[in-house]
Amino acid sequence: MLVINNTFISDSIFEEHFVCDISCCQGNCCIEGDAGAPLEEEEVVIMENCLEAIKPFMTKEGIEVVEQVGVFDYDDESLATSLVEDRECVFVYYEGNVAHCAIEKAYLEGKIDFQKPVSCHLYPIRVIKYQDYERLDYHQWDVCRQARINGKKLNVSVFEFLKLPLTRKYGEEWIDKVEKILTLRQR
């Protein structure tokens, strides 16, 4: 376990390998599971404010759910994206059989400045929040089996693969501290 500021980082994030291949998993991380994507409070406001720019990329079913219940729901006591029929995220859209994110599509097309919820960007890292700290765990799921194979073949750790979203969430200084400690560990 590595501790940086108020984050406890599981060693598996540095030891396990991962490189996503959406053509293999078909975006099932946005479909499978028992809850929507975890959300920060400020993300709910951003998504609500950007909704009209995101809607053209959403499915009819996703739009209907958002119009009925909103962009978020509660998973236990946490905020999460709403789901269509208790299954897929309301922001899923399809290109062929592959699920993609309508929020990210709107971002990539320059319609909004918000890329997607940080929990989605960080996946397969899960952030568990406690009162005074956060714990980062690597979530292994059968859906991502090919990503683990790709990561091992390319020798890319979960940390390396997710450096950009980790920087987005925790900042450059945090990343620098992690990398310095990792360098010291290798000596």
Residue ranges per domain, the chain? 1-18+124-187, 27-115
Q: In the predicted model, what is the mean pLDDT of residues 93-103?
A: 93
Res. 163: pLDDT tops 80:
yes
Asked whether the CA dihedral 119, 151, 20, 112 is positive or negative, the reply is positive
Kindly report the pTM of this predicted structure: 0.88
CA-based R_g, the chain, Å = 17
What per-residue confidence (pLDDT) applies to 27?
85
Res. 9: pLDDT tops 80:
yes
For 4-21, give one letter per residue: b (16+ CB within 10 A) or e: beebebbebbbebbbbbe
pLDDT in tens, 30-62: 887 778 888 999 999 999 999 999 999 999 999
Q: How far apart are CA 92 and CA 99, in angstroms?
A: 6
